[in-house]
Structure 1
């Protein structure tokens, strides 16, 4: 069963790398040499760049060492900042494992992110771990509990006064994630109230406005999709453009979201165009996310004569250049 779970995830990521990461969560490897928290922070920034550039294969290969080194450094330093780094590393692992479809391991890293965040007593770390854990609870079909976890994170952040950019950014992310969770739970009223609150929060952050508002608007579109209304989703996303999103991963995600909306509406040609655009920005967003890869596979099988279908078929069948692991 474990091998089948790993095979279902990370469709172009070497199975050995996924297996190594899964094993490392059970028995963490010994770091080759001790690292200081400042070095862990640098490694974490590098890992986030891999996520932002959609280098999922490289990130999966790097995570076992990052997680083990972060925990070892925090145990030696035993400072709030060091434990916050451990929590952040596990939060990144959650996002990565969830993206490639390894949900059981993603739930495990989300739990650990919450544990280490509580040890750090850092409000941003606690909020980030609440988002990660809430996301996994939603995916497991427990939207009410997921929303409650996120609400606690929001309340903890609000108690700080939301004075820093990091606090404001995480506050916005949690508001959006909670509204989306309500949508998947079928609570349209709370979902729409929640995303309106998030958009108001985005408008209050002048320094973040260029990225904050497009982030919230795309969530509004996804809420309509979760509620089964692809026309409203596409209408909400009508003014969103690639240049509003600073990283390849976010630009790829914009177009995979548009593809989902078109596919739900029964528009195979538009779905194809969106998937091809996503693949140009960030191939892993199409190739390594099982839900998106499933749409691509079904599309080329059911609609082989749609414009762009041959190109898409070649894109999803062509082996990717992967790092040696």
Structure 2
């Protein structure tokens, strides 16, 4: 779109420019420094953007500017379109879940479906393997997960078809939990479509198990898959419906409260990724209230919900919204030692991103390196972390530390 003619500045461009200026100043950057992060842009052009004289209407340019400021395009411009999956670049560092992808590429128990496999399952052994799958998921050990599920998922799919009638609810519950673990692992490695398929199967198996909270936990995984894909409307629809249904039950047991609180956190994530600041904070507060009713940190359905996890998500939400100062303030009060390695690593990643937004170079690199020590595969497969590392390298220029450059190499941030 061409520049507006005449002396009047379009109010949309003026508001956008004001937002850019606010974010730039929050990060301690000059117009010259911000322009240097953009391909072929000058400080003069940057000044015109901030005064509303120069419109930014092309999505690729908006994305570039948002990346330089460390926020999402929706946080920078709430009216911006959400990119379709085909326009988004998905970087997957490794292919550790290739075996798992093959498992969900077809029906994993055709022989049992046809009645040709009637072997009775050992549900106790299968339950131990499902627990181990979740342990590996929380530790971010994706190649080990893939090795296990190539045999475990077909065994569980056979079990739900061959177990005695009285044992089938337990078999379906194990199948649902296994697919949820797979959905979480795929999402964390950036394969949103495989995560979606796994979450959908988890919801179906959860319903067959008779454990309705297991169904809602599957929807939580599905919402995260939708967010990864960029399907925010579907994510918001799914999470709103789940919260509405659970909220109608005033007598939720602790495991139900864990699921309800986790869904509020998922809804906060959806709003944050869309730049909806007030809505995201409302959901964080609702999750905090549920955590208060629960009164402790729990791990029902491997959701790790409780007061500590609400604080961790509040940090992540603040970073997504570009509120680095708020994220760092919240982060100072969190003791996450009881959480899983994946969740502790995620907190450090978000604190590293917050420090990066503030141009606290040493603190940012320190947090990211500690996160990598705790959960290396999670760090190396996280798009927002790679973007933060790339920005740190560009800002530091020739003064970039060896630790930062090696981190950029390991994560593929400069590719």
TM-score between both structures, scaled by the size of structure 1: 0.82
Contact 2:297 2:308 in 1 (8 A): no
Whole-Å separation in 2 of the counterparts to 1:225 and 1:101: 19
Q: In the alignment, which of 225, 240, 245 is matched to residue 319 of structure 2? A: 225
Whole-Å separation in 2 of the counterparts to 1:57 and 1:274: 25
Partner residue in 2 for 1:94? 183
Contact 1:144 1:185 in 2 (8 A): no
Partner residue in 2 for 1:178? 267
Whole-Å separation in 2 of the counterparts to 1:229 and 1:204: 28
Contact 1:34 1:69 in 2 (8 A): no
Q: CA deviation at 1:120?
A: 2.9
Contact 2:308 2:336 in 1 (8 A): no
Contact 1:100 1:290 in 2 (8 A): no
Q: In the alignment, which of 169, 182, 198 is matched to residue 80 of structure 1? A: 169
Partner residue in 1 for 2:402? 310
Contact 2:193 2:229 in 1 (8 A): no
Contact 2:268 2:283 in 1 (8 A): yes
Partner residue in 1 for 2:153? 67
Q: In the alignment, which of 227, 242, 252 is matched to residue 138 of structure 1? A: 227
Contact 1:300 1:310 in 2 (8 A): no
Contact 2:223 2:235 in 1 (8 A): yes
Partner residue in 2 for 1:322? none
Q: Deviations over 1:73-102 (max 9, x none)?
A: 112236333222222211111110111111
Task: Specify whether residues 162 and 254 from structure 1 end up closer, same or farther in structure 2 by C-alpha distance, changes over 3 A only.
Answer: farther
Q: CA deviation at 1:125?
A: 1.0
Q: In the alignment, which of 8, 20, 31 is matched to residue 99 of structure 2? A: 20
**5+ residue gaps in structure 1?**
320-325
Q: CA deviation at 1:221?
A: 2.0
Task: Specify whether residues 41 and 155 from structure 1 end up closer, same or farther in structure 2 by C-alpha distance, changes over 3 A only.
Answer: farther
Residue 239 in structure 1 maps to residue 338 in structure 2: no
Whole-Å separation in 2 of the counterparts to 1:181 and 1:8: 21
TM-score between both structures, scaled by the size of structure 2: 0.66
Larger Rg: 2
Q: CA deviation at 1:314?
A: 4.1
Residue 128 in structure 1 maps to residue 217 in structure 2: yes
Whole-Å separation in 2 of the counterparts to 1:35 and 1:262: 51
Task: Specify whether residues 211 and 158 from structure 1 end up closer, same or farther in structure 2 by C-alpha distance, changes over 3 A only.
Answer: closer
Q: CA deviation at 1:118?
A: 2.9
Whole-Å separation in 2 of the counterparts to 1:269 and 1:258: 12
The DSSP-based 3-state class of the residue aligned with 2:297 is helix
**Segment of structure 1 superposing worse, 204-213 or 276-285:** 204-213
* Number of equivalences: 308
Whole-Å separation in 1 of the counterparts to 2:251 and 2:354: 34
Contact 1:234 1:258 in 2 (8 A): yes
Contact 2:295 2:306 in 1 (8 A): no
Task: Specify whether residues 265 and 60 from structure 1 end up closer, same or farther in structure 2 by C-alpha distance, changes over 3 A only.
Answer: farther
Whole-Å separation in 1 of the counterparts to 2:282 and 2:395: 38
Partner residue in 2 for 1:198? 287
Whole-Å separation in 1 of the counterparts to 2:137 and 2:366: 24
Whole-Å separation in 1 of the counterparts to 2:399 and 2:203: 46
Residue 39 in structure 1 maps to residue 118 in structure 2: no
